[in-house]
Amino acid sequence: MTASPFSPFETHLDRNHALQILKESLAGADDGELFLERSRGEALVFDDGRLRTASYDADQGFGLRAVRGEVTGYAHSTEINETALRKAAETVRLAVGDGGGTLALPPKGKIAPLYAALDPAEGISFATRVALLREIDAFARDLDPRVVQVSASISTSVQEIAILRPEGGLATDIRPMARINVSVIVESNSRRESGSAGGGGRIPLDGLIAPDHWQAQVREALRIALVNLRSVPAPAGVMDVVLGPGWPGILLHEAVGHGLEGDFNRKGHSAFAGLLGSRVASPGVTVIDDGTIPDRRGSISVDDEGNAPARNVLIEDGILVGYMQDRQNARLMGVEPTGNGRRQSYAHAPMPRMTNTFMLGGQDEPAAILADLKDGIYAVGFGGGQVDITNGKFVFSCTEAYRVKNGEVGDPIRGATLIGDGATALQQIRAIGDDLALDPGIGNCGKQGQWVPVGVGLPSLMIGGLTIGGSAA
C-alpha cells in the first residue's frame, strides 16, 4: 500500500510564504535550502527465547540552511510552522553576514523513483512479526543441538522528505527500509562461537519474511558459527590476502571511499588530496559510487540537497578521476555536484557521503586467485574496523577467514585483523575476480556524528603484503 504523502505545504506551511522566507534568509548567500522531513520506524528484537525490545519512533521537523563560502548557517526545529521558520531564518542569516555571494544554479538532472513509495511493514501485524521471530528462534535451535542462544530482529522505517529550493523548485521522496537479522551462538566442549547473517533494502518486508529467505539467513548464521567453532588461532606477520566478494567491500568503503569524499580533499585532509589524474591503484582497478541502483540500501531517488543521484566513477583503471561532492564543496572546488549531498535527518546539515560504493569486477577466476595464494589468508567476513582518513591507515577484524598454503584452503582462523593503509593496498592489488557482488543490505556509515545507510561491493581480490595481526603464539 502506498504511504500517505507528506505534504507540509498543505498541512503546516504556506508554500509561497515559506519560499519568501527562504529567499530572504539566503539574500547574499551562495546556496541553501529548506529541508522538511517526517519519519517513523519500528524495531523488534527477539533474544534468548523472548521478545526483548519492541520500539516505535516517529519524528518530524525542518532544517534551514544558508551557505556563504566555507561558512554554513543551520537551524532546525521539530515544529513545522511559519513562526519557527522565521526564527530559524534569523539564525542562518548570521552565516550570510553582509552577503556578497552569488546564488548557485539550481540542481540539474532528472529525478526518477528508484524504489516503491510505501511503508515496508504495511499489512504485516505486530503479532505476525513476533510470531515469526519466535519461529526463527525455534528453527535455529532445531537445526543443531549446539545452538545455545539465538537473537533475531526485524526493523522497518520510512522517511518522507520535501526539499524547497530558493528558485522555487520542490523535490520529494519517500524512502522505505526493511531489514531482518539473525545471530546464533553455538557451544561445544565449553567453547562458544557466534555467527550472524541478514540484510534488506528499500523494499517491502514481506519478501524478507518469506520462509525461503529467513531460513537461508538462519542457516548462514549457523554455518559461520560452526566454522568459527573449529577455528584455530590466526597467524601474525606480513602476508598476501585474498578477499571474498560482497561484504568485504566494507574495507574499500572505509579505507578508500571516505578518502574520496570532496570535503576531505578540499581541505587537504585526505591521502588522495591533489592526486586527480594520477595513478593511485593497480591497473584494472575501477571504483564506482552509484546511488541509482534500484531498491538498494544506499540508493536515493534524490539527494538531500535536491540533486539527482548518479553513477560516479572515482577511480578508472587505476587513475583517480573524481571525488564525491555535495553542492558546497563542489562549488568551492570548481566542479559539479555529484548527487552525494546526504544528511541523517532534518536536524543535520548535508555533507559529501557515499551511497553504494564498489569495485568493478575483473577477468580472473576466483578459484584461480585462491590457487595462486602461496602463503596467506582468505578473508570472507568482516566485523568492526578503524580508519584514519588523513593517511588511510586501517585495522579490520575478520569474522570469517581461513589459512591458505600453496593454494589450499585450510583451517578457519580466529582473532585475525588486517592492518594497512588504503592508498598502499590499492597499489598492491594483484588479481581481480570476475565475481563482483554487492553486500546483502546491512551497511551503515558514520561521519561527523551522522549515520546514513550505505551499500558496499567487491569482487574477489588478491592484495599483496598486508600485515596480519593474529593470536597464534
Domain boundary among 229, 257, 277: 229
Q: Do 355 and 460 sit in the same domain of this protein? A: yes
Contact criterion met (CB below 8 Å) for 270 and 390: yes
pTM of the model: 0.96
Q: How many domains does the chain have?
A: 2
How many Å apart are CA 196 and CA 184, to the nearest integer? 6
Domain boundary among 229, 255, 284: 229
How many Å apart are CA 380 and CA 154, to the nearest integer? 25
Cα dihedral 324, 326, 328, 330 sign: positive
Q: Do 244 and 166 sit in the same domain of this protein? A: no
Quote the pLDDT of residue 66: 98
Q: In sequence order, which ranges of 267-364 are alpha helices (DSSP H)?
A: 327-333
In angstroms, the Cα distances linking 246 to 257, 258, 318, 373, 403 are 15, 18, 20, 20, 20
Would you say residue 297 lies in a domain? Answer: yes
Please list, in sequence order, all residues whose beta carbon lies within 8 angstroms of the beta carbon of residue 119, skipping any fewer than 6 positions away: 1, 3, 156, 158, 176
Would you say residue 3 lies in a domain? Answer: no
Domain boundary among 169, 194, 229: 229
Please give the order of strands across the beta sheet that includes 170-188: 71-77, 50-68, 31-47, 147-164, 170-188, 191-201
Quote the pLDDT of residue 4: 59
Q: Do 212 and 255 sit in the same domain of this protein? A: no
Residue 397: its H or E element: strand 393-405
Would you say residue 2 lies in a domain? Answer: no
Q: Do 328 and 370 sit in the same domain of this protein? A: yes
How many Å apart are CA 81 and CA 128, to the nearest integer? 38
Q: Do 275 and 422 sit in the same domain of this protein? A: yes
Q: Do 458 and 325 sit in the same domain of this protein? A: yes
Q: Do 218 and 242 sit in the same domain of this protein? A: no
Q: Do 74 and 209 sit in the same domain of this protein? A: yes
Would you say residue 406 lies in a domain? Answer: yes
Local confidence pLDDT in tens for the 473 residues of the chain? 445 578 899 999 999 999 999 999 999 999 999 999 999 999 999 998 999 999 999 999 999 999 999 999 999 999 999 999 999 999 999 999 988 999 999 998 889 999 999 999 999 999 999 999 999 999 999 999 999 999 999 999 999 999 999 999 999 999 999 999 999 999 999 999 999 999 999 999 999 999 999 999 999 999 999 999 999 999 999 999 999 999 999 999 988 999 999 999 999 999 999 999 999 999 999 999 999 999 999 999 999 999 999 999 999 999 999 999 999 999 999 999 999 999 999 999 999 999 999 999 999 999 999 999 999 999 999 987 788 888 888 999 999 999 999 999 999 999 999 999 999 999 999 999 999 999 999 999 999 999 999 999 999 999 999 999 987 64
C-alpha cell at 364: 580472473
How many Å apart are CA 216 and CA 238, to the nearest integer? 36
The residue among 271, 278, 288, 290 whose CA lies nearest residue 425 is: 271
* Domain ranges, residue 108: 8-229
C-alpha cell at 323: 571525488
Would you say residue 176 lies in a domain? Answer: yes
Which of helix, strand or coil describes residue 129? helix
Please list, in sequence order, all residues whose beta carbon lies within 8 angstroms of the beta carbon of residue 189, skipping any fewer than 6 positions away: none
